[in-house]
């Protein structure tokens, strides 16, 4: 309480409201101020608990915790490398597939769609964001993975066999449909609604006079998009993409269903792997001792990475709003 009232002194002095002597008025102000502080407390709590819980693992394994790919519960040896690689790979695949589709949808909604179609399509895309992540997981595992195994993994594997590079990264030892690439595709579908709707908002904010001038001198839609819209919105679209990346990095349930949950470093995108989030979801409830600390240390790494990505995303999006 003492801390709170101390912090309140400054805003109270600043406020010149003649009514600040009324007790209810002051209480109301105090209540909203402390509620706002809850947001900061939550962030501090997340940082604090991750560092506190993960510290024993960091101290025990040192920097090797990040670079080691051993995850052996029996011998109590833990390393994060496989999970880090899985997290980054699946998120990158999600971006490579999801970003073009999101941009296409945003361009369709802002430039091409007839007015009567705009609202239903926009709502449909936004509803994709409302579908719980576990439903994507079930769809991915029970519907998508079997089709993917049959129509993509098997033919592609026989096609690329023996070819250098492609024969390695697209070779499925066991064409079961689950794996890092499947996880990336599901993640792509999950980030599309976010990236698409933010990009649409950004494109909508561009003054229509710029667009109309370009059309007026005879530009085609492609030229308007390429030479007017993208240069105008470029930085904030990168921000929107980073926001999608932040989501893809931390997504848990859908990935846990389809990534295969193997602690194995494989060069093939068709092979099962694991991400930081999926490993925590799988093991945390049964973990004791050092395994618990190692999982919290994984959480700590995930937090630092996503936090950095999200902060960067917000800065990029905010910068353009000002200009």
Partner 1 sequence: MIGNAPPSFPATPVGGRVRRSRQVADGALKLTCILFTALGTFVLGWILLMLLVEGAGGLSLAVFTQVTPGPGTEGGGIANAIVGSLILTILSIAVATPIGVLAGTYLAEYGKGSKLAETIRFVNDVLLAAPSILIGLFVYMFMVQPMGGYSGWAGGVALAIIAVPVIVRTTEDMLRIVPGSLREAGAALGAPMSTVIRKISWRSARAGMVTGVLLATARIAGETAPLLFTALNNNFWFRPDLMGGVANLPVMIYQFALSPYQNWRELAWAGALIITAAILALSVAARLLFKKETAR
Query: Taking CB under 8 A as the rule, does residue 29 contact partner 1?
Result: yes
Query: Taking CB under 8 A as the rule, does residue 55 contact partner 1?
Result: no
3-state secondary structure the chain: CHHHHHHHHHHHHHCCCCCCCCHHHHHHHHHHHHHHHHHHHHHHHHHHHHHHHHHHHHHHHCCHHHHCCCEECCCCEECCHHHHHHHHHHHHHHHHHHHHHHHHHHHHHHHHCCHHHHHHHHHHHHHHHHCCHHHHHHHHHHHHHHHHHHHHHHHHHHHHCCCCCHHHHCCCCCCCCCCHHHHHHHHHHHHHHHHHHHHHHHHHHCCHHHHHHHHHCCCCHHHHHHHHHHHHHHHHHHHHHHHHHHHHHHCCHHHHHHCECCCCCCCCCCCCECCHHHHHHHHHHHCCCHHHHHHHHHHHHHHHHHHHHHHHHHHHHHHHHHC
Query: Shortest gap between Cβ of 190 and partner 1 (angstroms)?
Result: 10
Nearer Cβ to partner 1 (95/192) = 192
Nearer Cβ to partner 1 (82/189) = 189
Nearer Cβ to partner 1 (160/310) = 310
Nearer Cβ to partner 1 (263/275) = 275
Part of the chain binding partner 1 (CB under 8 A), chosen from 61-69, 75-83, 159-167, 296-304: 296-304
Binding to partner 1 in span 227-246, by CB under 8 A: 243, 246
Binding to partner 1 in span 92-131, by CB under 8 A: 100-101, 104-105, 107-109, 111-113, 121, 123-128, 130-131
User: Among 4, 70, 96, 134, which residue sits at the site for partner 1 (rule: CB under 8 A)?
Assistant: 134
Nearer Cβ to partner 1 (157/185) = 185
Query: Taking CB under 8 A as the rule, does residue 2 contact partner 1?
Result: no
User: Among 172, 229, 233, 249, which residue sits at the site for partner 1 (rule: CB under 8 A)?
Assistant: 249
Nearer Cβ to partner 1 (70/315) = 315
């Amino acid at each position: 309480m003492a801390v709170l009232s101390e912090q309140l002194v400054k805003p109270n002095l600043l406020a010149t409201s003649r009514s600040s002597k009324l007790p209810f008025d002051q209480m109301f102000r105090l209540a909203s101020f402390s509620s706002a502080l809850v947001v900061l407390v939550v962030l501090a709590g997340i940082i604090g608990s991750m560092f506190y819980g993960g510290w024993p693992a960091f101290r025990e394994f040192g920097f090797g915790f990040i670079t080691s790919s051993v995850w052996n519960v029996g011998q109590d040896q833990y390393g994060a490398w496989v999970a880090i690689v899985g997290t980054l790979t699946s998120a990158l695949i999600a971006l490579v597939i999801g970003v073009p589709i999101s941009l296409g949808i945003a361009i369709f909604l802002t430039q091409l769609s007839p007015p009567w179609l705009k609202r239903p399509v926009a709502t449909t895309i936004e509803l994709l964001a409302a579908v719980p992540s576990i439903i994507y997981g079930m769809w991915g595992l029970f519907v998508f993975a079997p089709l993917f195994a049959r129509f993509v993994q098997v033919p592609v594997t026989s096609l690329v066999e023996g070819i250098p590079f492609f024969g390695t990264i697209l070779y499925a030892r066991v064409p079961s449909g689950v794996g890092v690439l499947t996880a990336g595709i599901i993640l792509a579908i999950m980030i599309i609604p976010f990236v698409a709707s933010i990009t649409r908002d950004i494109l909508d904010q561009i003054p229509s006079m710029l667009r109309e001038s370009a059309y007026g001198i005879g530009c085609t839609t492609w030229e308007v998009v390429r030479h007017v819209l993208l240069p105008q919105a470029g930085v904030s679209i990168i921000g929107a993409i980073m926001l999608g990346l932040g989501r893809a990095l931390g997504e848990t349930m859908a990935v846990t269903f389809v990534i295969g949950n193997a602690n194995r470093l494989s060069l093939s995108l068709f092979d099962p792997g694991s991400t930081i989030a999926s490993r925590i979801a799988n093991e945390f409830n049964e973990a004791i001792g050092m395994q618990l600390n190692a999982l919290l240390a994984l959480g700590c790494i995930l937090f630092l990475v996503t936090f950095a990505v999200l902060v960067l995303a917000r800065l990029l999006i905010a910068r353009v709003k000002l200009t």
